[in-house]
Structure 1
Amino acid sequence: MRIGALSRLTGVSERALRYYEEQGLLSPLRRPSGYREYTDDHVHTVRSIRTLLAAGLGTATIADVLPCMVDEGGQLAAACPDLLVDLARERNRITAAMEELRDAREMLDAIIAAPVPPEAAQALDC
């Protein structure tokens, strides 16, 4: 199938599919005309890429982990035991980022809730 068909089947734009190829995540065959030729395996690969992106992994990390992933009835699983260490590290990175965002939200909540004396608002002309 050509790139347009893969795009329709996966819901991923042709531009994103080309980007995945640039990042080494997809390796379509090339026809003599230069057109990319995709197979049903590529459909599964694109779906795995989307799942890993949704899990917060970047494309460089996905390039490392994708060869060790298997699809067990629609659920990705880490087939290589060493991969679990990398995935745990990524999970810890995401957890730390979530904590930083929570702290930032709490700071904004405090700023929003802080009372402003009327004279301060008048002095600032707002």
Structure 2
Amino acid sequence: MKIGELSERTGIPTRMLRYYEQQGLISSRRTSNGYRAYDASDVELASRVRALVQSGLSTRMARIVLDIERQSEQGVPASCSIALAEELAEELTAIEERLSCLKRSRDSVARYLDQVRPAQVREVS
């Protein structure tokens, strides 16, 4: 599929898909006329990349997470440098903090909606 179709299927703008490719997060092959071509599996990968980035990971860290996932799926024994382990530990702490904040926000919204009676809900224009 061409980049436009990948964009339609994922909801990710073509410009962002090109950026993800430039950052080594997704890849395409080139057709004879120079167009980017993607496989069906790229829909899931591009969506995963977007989710990682939207969750607050840098594209660099998203690439590391994707590599870790691939290695795990292939049964490759886990190993990394001390520096990368420290960086991953810091990222894990940051993720935990974001999750905590998101949970508090979710709980606040849920409590509010539980308190609102259907008659009190009005259409906002």
Q: TM-score range by the shorter chain?
A: 0.5 to 0.7
Please say which of residues 24-33 and 60-69 is displaced more in the overlay.
60-69
The match for 2:16 is 16
Report Cα offsets for 1:78-124 as digits up to 9, x if no partner: 937558x565421323539x99xxxxxxxxxxxxxxxxxxxxxxxxx
- Provide the residue aligned with 2:61 in structure 1: 61
Unaligned runs of at least 5 residues, structure 2: 102-125
**In 1, Cα distance between equivalents of 2:52 and 2:28:** 20
Secondary structure of the residue that 2:65 maps to in structure 1?
A: helix
Give the count of matched residue pairs: 90
Higher share in strand: 1
> What runs of 5+ residues in structure 1 fail to find an aligned partner?
71-77, 100-126
Alignment correspondent of 2:38: 38
Shift of 1:50: 1.5
Larger of the two Rg values belongs to structure:
1
Determine helix, strand or coil for the equivalent of 1:67. Answer: helix
Q: Which has the higher contact order (CA 8 A, sep 6+)?
A: 2
Residue type of the partner of 2:94? R
